[in-house]
Chains A and B, each alone.
Chain A
Amino acid sequence: MADFWLGASALFTDPTALMIFVGGLLGGMLFGAIPGINMLTLGAVILPFTAAMEPAHAIMLYSVIYCSGVFGGAITAILFNIPGSPENAPTAFDGYPMTRNGEAAKAIGAAVICSAFGGICSAILMMAATPTIAGWAVRAFGPPEIFALICFGLAVSASVGAADLWKGLLSVSLGLLIATIGTDPADGIARYNFGTYYLLAGIHFIPVVLGLFAVAEVFTQGAKQLTHTATKIDLQFPSFVEFWRLKFTVLRSMVIGFFAGILPGIGAVLAAFLSYNEAVRWSPKGKFGKGELGGVVASETANNAATGAAMIPLLALGLPGGALTAMMMGVFQIHGMEPGPLVFITSKELVWVVFAAMFFANVAILALGYIQTKTVVHLLRIPFHLLAPAILLIATIGAYALRNLTVDIWVMYLAGIAGFLLRRSGYSVAGIVMGLILGKLGESSFTKSMQLLKYDPTALFTRPIAGLLLTVAVLTLIWNVVAAIRRPPEAA
């Protein structure tokens, strides 16, 4: 506790540190809210300038950007079906239907509260348990366990947002097939690239997400003769009773987000997807995909819970779990430092300034939510037919700016058309995105697992965690298949 106050006082008594803290907070929120230009863009742009900063300030800046950036895209996801960042994509699954049902204020309120709650709890756990948890998770979760976790996620995601299980499975398999475009993870052999080197790097999921969500939404609204009702939006926190009903969703999402954050390569994106899947699985009567508050709560709690946890392997073991933490690793190296157990001894103040900054950044999300509600949400009052070209334009820039490739714009628009057609046929765009995101990691971890287990798939069941996860995945799928066969498609 004394260390925390030491870090907090170092943060708040130093005007430069305070300025960097506020700058990171607002910058992360802004970049998180703009589709395509996410917190990674900001992190990459400012990386060279961190050389002139104090090491503690530079690392603290990235940690604050991480917290506010993960939250930043939630409000645009809820209001416009445009996830500002991939971490907020599952938020749109139910957040946007809530907006269409006239419950935008409540969805935003829930996102703000849950993001702050998830982030604060994660920051506290991060401070309390960094060395112990990092050691266990990194030892216990190898490729077989990650593959089993992915299987579990895919089994559940088939039941999200589709008219029936079969359409859900087809949506997921389409995403999995798209994920195979590029090169294979073991030997880099080109697959489905049609002779063009543009496709060798694969289909990036950001243009697909922009297409399936933002562009498809513009097409859908356009096909409906562009009727859009401008409503007054405010910040309305769900009642205590509503939150109490969702207590298990919040706790479960916290746990999922925290462990997903610790595991290298999983991070906030998969935390949000896995948590959303679990919310669906544990609430069979919920109207997920049609405006269920639990969907917003699950996604936003988990993605922010992952932020604090992602710092654990970085600081405790020097193992970055994602792109932004890898940039932080770069910042350490720019300053001639190596993150790892020794950092807690040699740079104790730095560590606790970072911890304190992350804690207060998550507290500040409550204020950020209010600021965003009073600024960004006013865009909703603009008639949709005037807003539609702006959405298409921002999405186009977002897709292009990712890798400066025109092919990404094509991917986005083709995904938009596909999303438009698939949605009206009862397929799940969420399932496609989950298949695409989980597919790459799933194949990679399966390949490594098989090489590790001498090409014996049954050996996956001899590992306790992998075996348990795979068994639950199979049971979930069987349960869903039986339920789908028993009931007519309309009721699924």
Chain B
Amino acid sequence: MWPSGKATSVIELAFWLALALVAFGLSFQFSGEVGTYKWGAASWPRAVVLLMATTALIHAALQFRKAETSTSGADGDGNGERPLASLGLFVIPLIYAWLLPRTGFYLTTPVFLISFLLYVGERRWHVILATTLLIMALVLLVFAKLFYVALPVGNWPGFYDVNNWLLVMIR
């Protein structure tokens, strides 16, 4: 279950105040430099941080006052969902994003597509293979062959050569 009520308000307040504090603290790294603008580079971010912290405090105060009636999820998107299942949904694309510059787009993407389809519950191998092939074919046709989009070819030994070979074959 997702946290709700007062616990949510505390977590949210902690998040916003922590973010504001970190941003304010980091602003000292560039507050000393004065150029043509008299108020300096830190003035605007600090004004934003002040707005953020003030709003978070007011919001939390109002939430605590109405703790008994407060709910989370304005649009009801949180209903009936599985937080642990969501974790996997996040992790697969993040691993894909990490691998892309290392193992290259052309080798990594089919693995990503198959992994994602398996994770979301597709078990029919012919559907998984057909979907992967179709998506890859369309993407390669449009982005690699027609638009010549320079997609990552990897920098790990071996992967760079294989990706480049695939790219030459496609084009």
Q: Is A9 an interface residue (CB 8 A)?
A: no
Closest approach, in angstroms, between the C-beta of A170 and any C-beta of chain B? 5
**Complex Cα spacing A400 to B108, Å:** 15
Q: Which of A131-139, A259-267, A383-391 contacts B (4 or more CB under 8 A)?
A: A383-391
Question: Which of A388, A390, A404, A450 meets B120, CB within 8 Å?
Answer: A388
Query: Is A241 at the interface (CB under 8 A from chain B)?
Result: no
Contact B75 A400 (CB under 8 A): no
The CA-CA distance from A394 to B151 in the complex, in Å, is 12
- Are the CB atoms of B113 and A423 closer together than 8 Å? no
7 nearest A-B pairs in the assembled complex, by CB-CB distance: A187-B35, A163-B74, A186-B37, A426-B74, A166-B59, A184-B41, A424-B78
B52 touches A174 (CB 8 A): yes
B37/A187 in contact, CB under 8 A: yes
Task: For B62, list chain A residues within 8 Å (CB).
Answer: 166, 485, 489
- When the two chains form their complex, are residues B36 and A394 in contact, meaning their CB atoms are under 8 A apart? no
Report yes or no: B121 in contact with A406, Cβ–Cβ below 8 A. no
Contact of A386 with B93 at beta-carbon distance under 8 Å, contacts A397-B151, A443-B44, A450-B39 already known: no
Q: Is the CB of B44 within 8 A of A180?
A: yes
**Contact between A409 and B97 (Cβ–Cβ < 8 Å)?**
yes
CB of B74 within 8 A of CB of A386, answer no
The number of residues on chain A lying at the interface, defined by a beta carbon within 8 Å of a beta carbon of chain B, is 71
Question: A41, A166, A410, A447: which has the most chain B beta carbons within 10 Å?
Answer: A166
Question: A222's contact among B36, B49, B120, by CB below 8 Å, is which?
Answer: B120
Which positions 1-58 of chain B face chain A at CB distance < 8 Å?
Answer: 2, 8, 12, 16, 19, 23, 26-27, 30, 33, 35-39, 41-42, 44-45, 48-49, 51-52, 55-56, 58
* Chain A 200-227 interface 0/1 with B at a Cβ cutoff of 8 Å (1 = within): 0000000000000001001110111110
CA distance A223 to B89 in the complex (A): 8
CA distance A409 to B100 in the complex (A): 10
Whether the Cβ atoms of A180 and B48 lie closer than 8 Å is yes
Chain A contact residues, CB within 8 Å of chain B: 34, 37, 41, 45, 162-164, 166-167, 169-170, 173-174, 176-177, 180, 184, 186-192, 215, 218-220, 222-226, 289-290, 385-386, 388-390, 392-394, 396-397, 400-401, 404, 406, 409-410, 413, 416-417, 420, 423-427, 439, 443, 446-447, 450-451, 455, 485, 488-490
Nearest CB of B to A334, in Å: 22
8 Å CB contact of A223 from B30, B37, B82, B150: B82
- A455 touching B39, Cβ below 8 Å: yes
Q: Collect the chain A residues with CB atoms within 8 Å of residue B42's CB.
A: 191
A180 touches B112 (CB 8 A): no
Residues on B lying within 8 angstroms of A by beta carbon are 2, 8, 12, 16, 19, 23, 26-27, 30, 33, 35-39, 41-42, 44-45, 48-49, 51-52, 55-56, 58-59, 62-63, 66, 69-75, 77-78, 80-83, 85-86, 89-90, 93-94, 96-97, 100-101, 109, 112-113, 116-117, 120-122, 127, 131, 135, 138-139, 142-143, 147, 149-152
Closest residue of A by beta carbon distance from B63: A489
Besides the known contacts A37-B147, A392-B93, A455-B38, 15 further A-B residue pairs in the complex with CB atoms under 8 A apart:
A162-B74, A167-B74, A180-B44, A186-B35, A186-B41, A192-B45, A389-B116, A389-B117, A397-B139, A400-B151, A406-B97, A406-B152, A424-B2, A443-B44, A488-B69
Cβ–Cβ contact B56 & A170, under 8 A: yes
**When the two chains form their complex, are residues A224 and B147 in contact, meaning their CB atoms are under 8 A apart?**
no
* From B8, B41, B86, B131, contact of A420 by CB (8 A): B86
A406 to chain B, nearest CB (A): 5
Q: A191's contact among B37, B41, B131, by CB below 8 Å, is which?
A: B41
